[in-house]
């Protein structure tokens, strides 16, 4: 966390006095202090950072100007006293530029926030660093006050196979309003993560209107494939942090029954590029490429798949998923239990399955060690801590930060090994600080490799099974992982959740959240 020792609005006042020719009696020591504080803050950024190098050089130049060529501040003050304010004017202009750059780098603006009326206050854009800062509760934190999902349906054969995304989302919104008693007119914005339905914005907007949300509430959709649900949360969180939104809904939804992945098409000139060609290939092909390149055996894939199937069956038998599922009504039928979890999966039954992609790579991917294809939706309600407390909303968790990365398209599945360390570095945590990981199991090939490379105990990862057992409705998954992870933290009375997933075309993402509803699992 980078902290400027002087309030930025005081710097602006000093600048106004200089630019208005009513020179501050002695602005130079104040500017010197600001520059020196900036240099101290920059020491916390790696020296290899282009940002640090650029700002550090600019700050040193301005500091030297202020102090004078020979460090003689008195000489510069004398020039100002004689009315030579050209350089002072330039310094003031540069100062405002520097303030802007530091703000872009998530500078600590809490001192400004305290000077703004609460009705106009946005969440801070800073990223807390270190466990104490992350666990600290601030009025401008972005918090989650509701997090639920629908039961998941097996694609083409399950309970949601004939339910389009608008109907699914409509049912989820009605159930959410019933449980939360949230007044739809209080919503400032909605973001829906979804991948393959036609005209997704029209469908989402129509579903919101039909659920009783006023036409004055805007909505957007986001498609970053497997991370779309997380990106919806990220977009609303960032909007709250910027002050543009005070309360928003983040939704992830997908019907892989009615809207399966379409075959991407690119022009011939684009397809001639090797990586461009790779990035539009079927996901099963990328699974086999990972297995081949990183030598992930069929046996290891089945081993990790069995863990997922076993855990999910045990969780279902113990009724654990009931806490995170909100029942929805679809055409008079209540949907409340996942129908995707397959009972009786064993090591031998997995070993007996045939490859589903025998013509690609080693042909080790099967229907038992790859994520299931499914239908479902999930939702999170986000606002500021201050508003949640003022309006009596129960705070379940806190948004902290996220990361996105790009990797070689052919090996898109390994991206969590880059997204997770990037996020941990951003927030100043170690792998050991995280209590629960929800890492998407797109394929056992990539999941096994990621677990081995991250060196995180498997006991911390997907403790109730993952997508191999529960299935992976593309737009839903990023939101479901947050719902599932926060529920698990409540049961365990633990603090930190990290979610991550690989993303088709060669990307990856991760998100960090804090549980703030310990010992209340039975009340939800």
> What integer is the mean pLDDT of 83-99?
49
Instruction: List the one residue out of 484, 486, 438, 443 whose CA is nearest residue 461.
Output: 438
Residues labelled as active-site residues: 226, 502
pLDDT score recorded for residue 49: 64
Residue with tokens 């019907």: 255
Q: Find the DSSP H helices in 379-509.
A: 385-390, 416-427, 444-454, 467-470, 474-492
Band of residue 43 on the pLDDT scale cut at 50, 70, 90: confident
Answer yes or no: is pLDDT of 508 > 80.
Answer: yes
3 state SS for 114-160:
CCCCHHHCCCCCCCCCCHHHHHCCCCCCEEEEEEEECCCEECCCCCC
pLDDT score recorded for residue 51: 59
**Average pLDDT of every residue of the chain:** 85
Q: Are 510 and 420 in contact (CB under 8 A)?
A: yes
Instruction: List the one residue out of 274, 216, 2, 17 whose CA is nearest residue 129.
Output: 2
Q: Which two tokens stand for residue 409?
A: 């398209």
As a whole number of angstroms, the distance between CA 233 and CA 38 comes to 32
Answer yes or no: is pLDDT of 282 > 60.
Answer: yes
Answer yes or no: is pLDDT of 505 > 60.
Answer: yes
Residue with tokens 């703030």: 516
> What integer is the mean pLDDT of 111-140?
66
């Amino acid at each position: 966390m980078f902290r400027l020792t002087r309030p930025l609005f005081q710097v602006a006042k000093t600048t106004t006095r200089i630019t208005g020719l009513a020179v501050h009696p002695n602005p130079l020591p104040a500017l010197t202090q600001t520059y020196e504080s900036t240099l101290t803050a920059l020491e916390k950024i790696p020296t290899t950072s282009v940002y640090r190098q650029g700002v550090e050089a600019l700050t040193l130049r301005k500091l030297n100007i202020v102090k004078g060529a020979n460090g003689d501040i008195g000489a510069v003050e004398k020039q100002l006293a004689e009315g030579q304010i050209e350089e002072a004017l330039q310094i003031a202009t540069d100062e405002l530029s520097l303030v802007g750059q530091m703000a872009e780098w998530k500078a600590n603006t809490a001192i400004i926030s305290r000077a703004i009326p609460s009705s106009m206050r946005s969440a801070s854009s800073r990223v807390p660093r270190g466990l104490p800062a992350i666990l600290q509760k601030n009025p401008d934190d972005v918090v989650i006050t509701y997090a639920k999902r629908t039961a998941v349906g097996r694609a083409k054969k399950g309970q949601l196979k004939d339910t389009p995304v608008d109907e699914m989302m409509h049912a989820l919104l009605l159930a959410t309003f019933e449980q939360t008693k949230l007044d739809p007119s209080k919503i400032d914005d909605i973001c829906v993560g979804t991948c393959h339905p036609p005209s997704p914005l029209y469908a989402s907007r129509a579903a919101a209107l039909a659920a009783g949300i006023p036409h004055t509430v805007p909505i957007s959709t986001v498609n970053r494939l497997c991370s779309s649900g997380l990106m919806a949360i990220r977009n609303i969180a960032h909007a709250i942090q910027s002050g543009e939104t005070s309360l928003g809904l983040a939704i992830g939804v997908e019907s892989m029954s009615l809207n399966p992945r379409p075959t991407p098409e690119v022009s011939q000139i684009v397809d001639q590029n090797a990586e461009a060609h790779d990035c539009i290939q079927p996901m099963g092909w990328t699974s086999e490429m990972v297995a081949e390149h990183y030598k992930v055996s069929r046996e290891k894939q089945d081993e990790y798949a069995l863990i997922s199937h076993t855990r999910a069956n045990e969780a279902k038998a113990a009724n654990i998923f009931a806490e995170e599922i909100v029942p929805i009504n679809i055409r008079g039928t209540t949907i409340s239990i996942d129908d995707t979890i397959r009972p009786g999966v064993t090591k031998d039954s997995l070993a007996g399955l045939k490859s589903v992609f025998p013509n690609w790579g080693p042909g080790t991917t099967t229907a038992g060690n790859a994520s299931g294809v499914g239908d479902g939706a999930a939702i999170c309600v986000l606002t500021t801590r201050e508003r949640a407390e003022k309006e009596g909303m129960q705070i379940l968790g806190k948004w902290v930060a996220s990361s996105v990365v790009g990797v070689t398209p052919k090996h898109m599945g390994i991206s969590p090994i880059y997204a997770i360390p990037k996020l941990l570095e951003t927030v100043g945590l170690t792998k050991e600080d995280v209590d629960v990981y929800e890492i998407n199991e797109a394929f056992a090939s990539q999941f096994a490799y990621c677990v081995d490379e991250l060196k995180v105990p498997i006991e911390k990862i997907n403790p109730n099974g993952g997508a191999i057992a529960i299935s992976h409705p593309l737009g839903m998954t990023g939101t479901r992982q947050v719902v599932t992870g926060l529920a698990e933290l409540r049961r365990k009375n633990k603090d930190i959740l990290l979610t991550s997933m690989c993303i088709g075309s060669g990307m990856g993402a991760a998100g960090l959240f804090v549980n703030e509803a310990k010992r209340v699992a039975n009340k939800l």
